[in-house]
Amino acid sequence: MAFGLLVSFLKRIHREGVVALLAIFFVCIPLCALELNGVNHLQLDEIGAKLGMQSRWVEKGKIKELKSEWTRLRFELHKREMIVNGLRVHLGFPVAGSRGKLYLSETDFRHQIQPILTPQVFGKPPGFHHIIIDAGHGGTDPGAENPALKLREKSLTLDLAKRLKAQLEKAGYKVTLTRSGDRLIALPERALMANRLKGDLFLSLHFNASGKSSVHGVETYAFTPLLQPSTSRGKLHPSDRKSYPGNKHDPWNELLGFYVQRSLKETLPSPDRGLKRARFTVLRDLNMPGLLIEGGFVSHSQEGRNIGSAAYREKIARAIASGLATFEKTANRLKGKAQ
């Protein structure tokens, strides 16, 4: 059996050359897992070697960087995030240390690193043409408010949804809004509606508020993968062991979220609060990749004023559309459609 497998690999290398060699490398070279704090972890140096990246200490025993020609990943001991080319990506578990080496959880490698750096290991991404845009809140639920600036989240999300719809239609997509007026739709119904409409991609638009007036910035949420705690939770919860329809597209949620958050960070003056994870009801039952985007804090004086301006909301819409365009480019490349 093993001999037969070897012969078929050798035949494939003969036929397809380097591509087959790379495929075999990714499939066959296992990483050694070490259990730390009850969770399987992989050594960062080994992850770097598997990805063909150089590994170096930025601060010995504390901060490590993995680097290739195009990508820099930065990890800090005990921090629950990694920095990917300057962008914050929140991890399921903190970076761990043992005997002077740094470790990343196996699920973070699979759900946070591979979708961004080697999405080809997940096969072909789903195509997308029909985009469902969900304007958060509505009707009796105003969402976040800033009375001093006369800002109500439900109106701002609807305005942003219409702007994004116009931009995406101009780019050739079919777009449907979950609501086009001031009405409340129950959270589970929003995802079910997207499924009934047979959407290919779902975007829920929101604005944030905080009791602390200094808090501001943009953040993007993808549905929490199986066996990982959401960003707001410190450790695993029994619900983290349950798989939902929203998990079917885990790698594509992550890659899409990365591109959209990167585009928001590059376009807007707001601080990058990162790509986060949550089991939001609007994302839980989706049959398609989806994101929830928080376009800034209405409670912050400057960011609130920005959000109140139509030109700024147009800018947010452009940033989201640009993130989607990058995702489509990558998806086409993975499907072998690239020129």
| Spatial distance between the Cα atoms of 220 and 256, rounded to a whole number of angstroms | 10
Cβ-contact 289, 201 below 8 angstroms? yes
When the beta carbons of 136 and 225 are compared against Zn ion, the nearer one is 136
Contact residue for Zn ion among 143, 229, 257, 274 (CB under 5 A): 143
Candidate segments 75-83, 134-142, 234-242, 282-290, binder of Zn ion by CB under 5 A: 134-142
| Spatial distance between the Cα atoms of 178 and 187, rounded to a whole number of angstroms | 11
When the beta carbons of 125 and 136 are compared against Zn ion, the nearer one is 136
Candidate segments 4-12, 19-27, 90-98, 137-145, binder of Zn ion by CB under 5 A: 137-145
When the beta carbons of 91 and 205 are compared against Zn ion, the nearer one is 205
Position 277, amino acid: R
CA angle 195, 197, 203 (to 5 degrees): 65
Choose among 199, 196, 192, 193: nearest CA to 178: 193
Cα 169 to Cα 221, 257, 263, distances in angstroms: 24, 21, 19
Minimal distance, residue 178 CB to Zn ion, in Å: 14
Surface-to-core class of residue 333, CB atoms within 10 Å of its CB (0-12 exposed, 13-18 middle, 19+ buried): middle
**For the window 42-81, what string marks contact with Zn ion as x by the rule CB under 5 A?**
----------------------------------------
When the beta carbons of 39 and 205 are compared against Zn ion, the nearer one is 205
Minimal distance, residue 223 CB to Zn ion, in Å: 16
Residue nearest to Zn ion (CB): 206
Task: Kindly state whether residue 138 participates in binding Zn ion, applying the rule CB under 5 A.
Answer: no
Residues 207-266 within binding reach of Zn ion (CB under 5 A):
none
When the beta carbons of 94 and 304 are compared against Zn ion, the nearer one is 304
Cβ-contact 182, 226 below 8 angstroms? no
When the beta carbons of 53 and 158 are compared against Zn ion, the nearer one is 158
Candidate segments 178-186, 205-213, 251-259, 327-335, binder of Zn ion by CB under 5 A: 205-213
Minimal distance, residue 206 CB to Zn ion, in Å: 3
When the beta carbons of 223 and 252 are compared against Zn ion, the nearer one is 223
Contact residue for Zn ion among 48, 92, 115, 136 (CB under 5 A): 136
**3-state per-residue secondary structure call for 204-225:** EEEEECCCCCCCCCEEEEEECC
Cβ-contact 76, 62 below 8 angstroms? yes
Task: Kindly state whether residue 296 participates in binding Zn ion, applying the rule CB under 5 A.
Answer: no
Minimal distance, residue 273 CB to Zn ion, in Å: 15
Q: Which tokens is 109 given? A: 């490698």
When the beta carbons of 143 and 323 are compared against Zn ion, the nearer one is 143
Task: Kindly state whether residue 206 participates in binding Zn ion, applying the rule CB under 5 A.
Answer: yes
Minimal distance, residue 316 CB to Zn ion, in Å: 14
Which residues on adjacent β-strands are paired with residue 272?
A: 218
Which residues on adjacent β-strands are paired with residue 170?
A: none
Candidate segments 51-59, 87-95, 198-206, 281-289, binder of Zn ion by CB under 5 A: 198-206
Q: 266 in the Ramachandran plot: left (φ > 0), alpha (ψ -120 to 50) or beta?
A: alpha
Cα 66 to Cα 47, 56, 82, 85, 180, distances in angstroms: 9, 7, 11, 11, 46
Chain residues in the site for Zn ion (CB under 5 A): 136, 143, 206
